[in-house]
Each structure stands twice: as structure tokens, then as C-alpha cells.
A = this chain, B = another copy of it.
Amino acid sequence: MKTVRGFASATVGNVACGFDVLGFAIKEPGDEVILTLSERKHSSCPVTISSISGDEGKLPLDPKKNTSSFVVLKFLEHLRAQKGIAFNGHISLELKKHLPLSSGMGSSAASAAAALAAANELLGQPCTKMELVHFAIEGERVACGSAHADNAAPAILGNFVLIRSYTPLDLIVIPPPDELYCSLVHPHTELRTSFARSVLPNEIPLKMATQQWGNVGALVAGLLTADYPLIGRSLIDVVAEPKRAPLIPGFFEVKEAAQRAGALGCSIAGSGPSIFAFSSSPDTAREAGIAMQEAFLTSKAKLPSDMWVSPICREGARIL
């Protein structure tokens, strides 16, 4: 019996202009996955879930349907098929969820990344982190029907990750500037990714697209040159935010509050309902976060919320 405890933190996909191609990881909060290896088989499935906490009973216990166990199964399949490593034992999985579901905080990706980090450690690190990303992306398909990488990749790799291409998968890790802090506010309401996706148009005006890719290029330049004002000016999403903002009660008030408090910029975390802001000092990030919470509370929907202030995580999924 050998036990390994994996951890992966919350991630924010899209990052305003970087719709579907950019994401970053913060240091905390995150999900924990504890894997226990025994040498002999317990059941027909090599992975079983022993317990899940923190999900209010919402996540499936079927190892083929739960994201965290599903990605471990994919990982084992890959070892057998691609690396000739047969696994004849059994893995028992315990999931400790600290991230809210359907929050825009990359909850499913964090569980998958934590499970993969633990599984890779448990079996002597047969895979690189870049390889693990592939399985984490497969987990996203199970969790929300679309194999997107903007949470899965930073959950594994940390930092900002730009997805240049899906076929083949081409990920560019962009280290964060030292003084960049994220305020992440999660209002107590859910917004399903599939619904937030359904409000987006299939086609967009070329002029709008041009504006968006100007901002994407500028945001990458701002991150790589630690130009905080440029990061702020580039955090503009003319494509998804205008369609999704009305789905988040109080969005406009919250965004205004963040900016008034001195944040560089503010937008929807993933497909929402969480909202993130960037600041160039921890104090400003805390003030922005508090102002955002107050704005949620005093807006029409009077939403209570949770709030975290964190630098960008450089480490990615890790062993505790």
C-alpha cells in the first residue's frame, strides 16, 4: 500500500480577450486527490473512488464518469498502449473538493490535474507534465462535453498557458510577471458552461475579431515584458463578455468596483459566474476583491460570494 496526495489549484480560462486560447493558475484554493495503490486487483476497473467530500453529493462515484478517476484510467491506458507499461494493481481514489462546481474556477480541471499528478508520482513518473495535459483535457470532455484546454493546461503546468493549436496540441507556457496578483470572486450562484456557451454566436464580424486578436497579442506582450498598464489595457473581451455578462447578476457593478479600486482590469473567469481582476500589488488586489464582493452584495441580486487573492501559480499540479 502506497499513498500519494496530489494538489492542483483553481484556474481562470479565457482571461478576457483570450477566449478559448488562454488560461492561468492561481496558488489557492485547489482540489486534493489522494491515491492509494495496492498490488492486487479489487474490481474489474483498476480505479475506484473511495470517497468524495466537498461536492454536496453532486459528483458521480462511477470511476468512468467522475473526471478525476476517468483521467487516471486514460493515463493507465496510455501507459499500456504507448509505453508498454502494464498496470495490474488497483488504485483507490479519494477526492477532496475545495473548489465550487460550475463556478468558472476550473473545478473539474483541478480535480483531474491533482489526480494525474498523484497517479504519475505513484507509478514512478512515467509521463512528462506536458503528456499529462492530454489526459486532463480528456477529463474536460467528460466534465462538460468539450475538450477544452484553457483550464486543464494551466492546472497541470501552472503559469499562463496559451493554446496555439489543438491539432496538434501546441501549448506555450508564459511565466507571469512577478507583481501580478489575481482577485477571484465567486458569487453563490451557478452558471453551466454549456449554457454560457450557447449564448455565443457561431459567427462574428471580422472587425470584432481583429480587435480581439489585437488585444490577445498585446496581453501576451504585456505579460512577457511585465508591462502592467499594457496588461490592463489589453484585458478587453469584445466577443464573449458582452454576451455572457447579462447572465451574471451584478457583473457590471462588480467590474466597475474592481476598476475603481485600482485593478488593472477585470472580466469573467472562464464562462462565469466567477469574476477575476488583476492588480499589480497584493494590497490593491485585496482592495479590489473586497470592492467586488461588496458590489455583488449591493447589486440587485444581493449575491454573497467567496473571494481569494493570489499570485499566479508557477508550479502547476504538485504532490503534497
A contacts, CB < 8 Å to B: 17-22, 162-165, 170, 172, 174, 200-206, 209-221, 224-225, 230, 233-234, 239
Contacts and interface: CB of A to CB of B under 8 A. Distances in A.
Contacts of A202: 205-206
23 contacts: A18-B213, A21-B217, A163-B214, A164-B218, A165-B233, A170-B218, A170-B233, A172-B217, A172-B218, A172-B221, A174-B221, A201-B206, A203-B203, A203-B204, A203-B206, A209-B213, A212-B213, A213-B216, A216-B216, A217-B219, A217-B220, A218-B220, A220-B221
A243 to B, nearest CB: 11
Contacts of A225: 224
A206 to B, nearest CB: 5
A210 B21 contact: yes
Given A172-B230, A220-B221, A209 B239 contact: yes
A21 B220 contact: no
Given A213-B217, A216-B216, A224-B225, 17 more contacts: A19-B210, A20-B210, A162-B217, A164-B215, A165-B233, A172-B217, A202-B205, A202-B206, A203-B204, A209-B213, A213-B216, A216-B217, A217-B217, A218-B220, A220-B220, A220-B221, A221-B224
B19 A234 contact: no
A239 B209 CA distance: 10
A34 to B, nearest CB: 35
Listed residue (A18, A203, A212) with the most chain B CB atoms within 10 angstroms of its CB? A203
A147 to B, nearest CB: 14
A224 B230 CA distance: 15
Contacts of A203: 203-206
A210 B17 CA distance: 10
A300 B20 CA distance: 41
A201 B205 CA distance: 9
Contacts of A19: 210, 213
Contacts of A162: 214, 217-218, 221
A138 to B, nearest CB: 20
Nearest to A21: B214
A21 B209 CA distance: 11
Nearest to A171: B218
Q: A-B pairs with the 9 shortest C-beta distances?
A: A213-B213, A164-B218, A209-B209, A21-B214, A213-B216, A203-B203, A217-B220, A220-B220, A224-B224
A202 B220 CA distance: 27
A209 B240 CA distance: 12
Contact of A200 (B17, B164, B206, B213): B206
Contacts of A172: 217-218, 221, 230
